[in-house]
Amino acid sequence: MGKNKKRKQDNSANEQAATPPCHSSTKHISNPLEKAQQSFLKSLPADTRLHFFSPKHVTPHQRAEIWENQADLGEKLVNKYAWATPDARLLKIFQHFSPIVEVGCGSNAYWARWMHDYGDVDVIAFDVSLESGGKINAKDNKKKKKSKDSGGTKMGGLTIRQGGPTVLSHDPDTRDRTLFLCYPDEEEYKESDSEDEEDRYNGNDINDSKPKSMAAACLEHFTGSTIIHVGELFGDTLGLDQSPWGRSSSCEFQERLAAEYHCILKMKSQNNWLHVRDTLSVWKRSETCAMVYENDSDGEDESAEEDHYKYIPPEEQLPFDVAAPCVAHLLSSSGPDVKLDQCGKTDEVKKDVDVQQKPAKKKQKKNNERNQDDVIPGSVW
């Protein structure tokens, strides 16, 4: 939490199965990460949790002490469990978009185990290092054990294997699955040496041709239609050093995600640390439409211009109207009608009070009730 993090390296050329840690076969499981995190957060005054970065509510000494305690606990929980904390509301999302393939599951494969054991979700999880993946300050020189079973380890719908982004295009078991990424880019991504050598042999510039993050590499190989992302996205983060892209996925990934996909669901995590604003978002691959314009010039070059646009069906469009609680009333459609005169000044439109005055009031009241249901301040984010 705020300290150096272990780099995830794509060693997919040497993908082999590794036996995951033993796990209880009990159907109903707990969420120990959530329990430990909430125990710490609830030990703090509610006012401190809500206004942690406010100079008026928390003194620098108090903030420093809380921050240090959170960092120590957070690092232990990341190494033991995961970077982000699931909550029960999110389970139905994975059930709806099952089957799932996760890349970068970490050595604990916490989310994969949670959704499988708690929700019967069919999931295949990959990480290039099943011993140290996703851990903070993991030792680079630690030897990795390899299993002789190249087919992976399966436990009734849960499969955990060694592999990176290339499995999405090379492994037939990953096809027709929803891609799940949870904090995929803790640090800069590095391609495996074998892939670098292949690019040099083909005369490619590896600095330009290869994605610079693991999440972006996943988009390069993913052929499915749906992606679930857990972490911070553009504009969500509170950390100025990590602004505007957040602490969990690279700008390269987010730019391509926004260009080729559209978001159909976004919900705030209920289990965020004091400085974190994680969300779960679901993205669907967009259909595109090409607009071709004929060249009207008399020059020899008669090539036509071509623009591409995304088609997002109305039922897959997120609402545009979003307001913080302090200005949510501005989204209300009630109030006097306003028009502009020729000078640009506003004049209220006078209503005929002699015509059906009482029914008009009832209609206005009905509209207000509807707006109170439709506009929920701050709920979208």
Report the pLDDT value the prediction gives residue 49, as an integer from 0 to 100: 95
What's the pLDDT score for residue 245?
A: 86
- pLDDT over threshold 50, residue 17: no
For residue 40, pLDDT beyond 80: yes
- Asked if the model's pLDDT at residue 270 lies above 70, the reply is yes
Whether the pLDDT of residue 7 is over 70: the answer is no
3-class DSSP state for residue 358?
helix
Model pLDDT for residues 253-264, shown as the tens digit of each residue: 999 999 999 999
Residue 157 vs residues 20, 41, 88, 262: alpha-carbon distances, Å: 14, 34, 20, 29
Beta strands in the chain (DSSP E): 100-103, 123-127, 153-154, 158-162, 178-182, 226-231, 261-268, 279-285, 287-293, 305-311, 338-340, 346-348
Banded model confidence at residue 223, pLDDT cuts 50, 70, 90 = very high
Q: Model confidence at 355, in pLDDT bands (50, 70, 90)?
A: very low
DSSP result, 301-317: --PPEEEEEEE--GGGP
Within 10 A of 182 (CB to CB), how many other CB atoms are there? 25
Beta-carbon contacts of residue 106 (< 8 Å; ≥ 6 apart): 82, 83, 127, 133, 134, 135
More confident residue, 246 or 126: 126
pLDDT in tens, 154-203: 556 789 999 999 999 999 999 999 999 999 986 555 665 444 444 444 44
- Residue 352 pLDDT greater than 90, yes or no: no
| Domains of the chain, each with CATH number or no CATH | 12-287 (3.40.50)
State pLDDT tens for residues 289-343.
988 887 766 656 666 788 999 999 999 999 999 999 999 999 987 656 555 555 5
